[in-house]
Amino acid sequence: MHLSVSTNVVFYQRGDHFGHFVPVEQCMVECLQAGFRVFDINCCDNADPGMPLSTDEWESWALKIANIARSLDVSFNQSHNPIYNFCHPEIVPNFDLAEEMTRRSILCSGILGVKWIVVHAGSSFVNGKYDKTSTIEKNLAYLDKIRCMALASGCEGIAIENMAVSHDYSQICETTDGLIHLVDAFHSNSVGVCWDFGHAHLTSESQFESLQKVSSRLKATHIADNSGLNDDHTLPMLGTIPWEQLMPVLQGIAYQGDLTYEIHKYMWNAPAILRPIMLQLAHETGQYLIKLSEGHLS
């Protein structure tokens, strides 16, 4: 098991969350200096207008990142696809552009040697109401295309993420049973689960029991903490998730993947001078989680 970190961990500049961004290249160097050697390429942020995947030079950018990774002797284990409700193209602003960003993200993932592409399921509505049957049908049709593209790009497959309960509309993956139902409907080893510990903490379900249910379907993780009220995406031990109880479950279900941080909000307001210290703390905390998962700590 390796400790991985999303490239959005060092992305926003303090006081300027929507202006000047820290490029992936710099993030990789800063994280490597703190001890990280495995990365999750966040294609959501990098597909936004003006960001690398949205430009005509996106492929050369991906090749450059791959070359830098080789020179630094680091690797990419997973990626995160752009997020939009593909079940209803008519409500997605510029759906064709969103589809192109997804295509580029998948090809970028292949260039970087990503194993699992993390995706969000969509929600389907009939006569304005959430419809489970239609949701499953549309997800199967759409995500199977994504799965095939991922395999063609050299990835192992797609990992569907569990979601927090939404107050706006129902989602098939906001319950563990719904997530498992959808994943199993593909009847494919190239479709698995990405378990987001922060999202699960915002539901009424027991993560301990949910992880055991997910079992061998688990292919990827999003590691982040919160207080049970909002999706804070902060460092473990700064929220109320019982990591000491949950990490050993990973060994119990024979999880073969990595622990991948999605803790960008932990770093949002960090001045540049403090980023090295905060990243080092994140790395040490991650090593503690790995020891918990291996049963080396009581």
Residue 281 forms part of a structural domain:
yes
298 part of a folded domain = no
The secondary structure of 138-200, three-state, reads HHHHHHHHHHHHHHHCCCCEEEEECCCCCCCCCCHHHCHHHHHHHHHHCCCCCEEEEEEHHHH
Residue 12 lies in a domain: yes
Does 108 reside within a domain? yes
Residue 262 is assigned to a structural domain of this protein = yes
Residue 38 lies in a domain: yes
Ramachandran angles phi, psi of 260, nearest 5° = -115, 115
**Token couple for 118:** 């993390």
**109 within domain boundaries:** yes
pTM of the model as a whole: 0.95
> Residue-wise pLDDT tens for the chain (298 aa)?
999 999 999 987 776 555 578 899 999 999 999 999 999 999 999 999 999 999 999 999 999 999 999 999 999 999 999 999 999 999 999 999 999 999 999 999 999 999 999 999 999 999 889 999 999 999 999 999 999 999 999 999 999 999 998 766 689 999 999 999 999 999 999 999 999 999 999 999 999 999 999 999 999 999 999 999 999 999 999 999 999 999 999 999 999 999 999 999 999 888 889 999 999 999 999 999 999 999 877 5
Q: Rounded to an integer, what distance in angstroms lies between the CA atom of residue 126 and that of residue 273? A: 52
Kindly state whether residue 25 falls inside one of the protein's structural domains.
yes
Please state whether beta strands 129-130 and 191-196 pair in parallel, antiparallel, or not at all (unpaired). Answer: unpaired
The amino acid at 217: R
Exposed/middle/buried for residue 200 (C-beta within 10 Å: 0-12, 13-18, 19+): buried
Q: What is the CATH number of the domain that holds 246?
A: 3.20.20.150
Residue 293 dihedral angles phi and psi, to the nearest 5°: -70, -25
Domain count, the chain: 1
Task: For residue 276, give its domain range.
Answer: 3-293
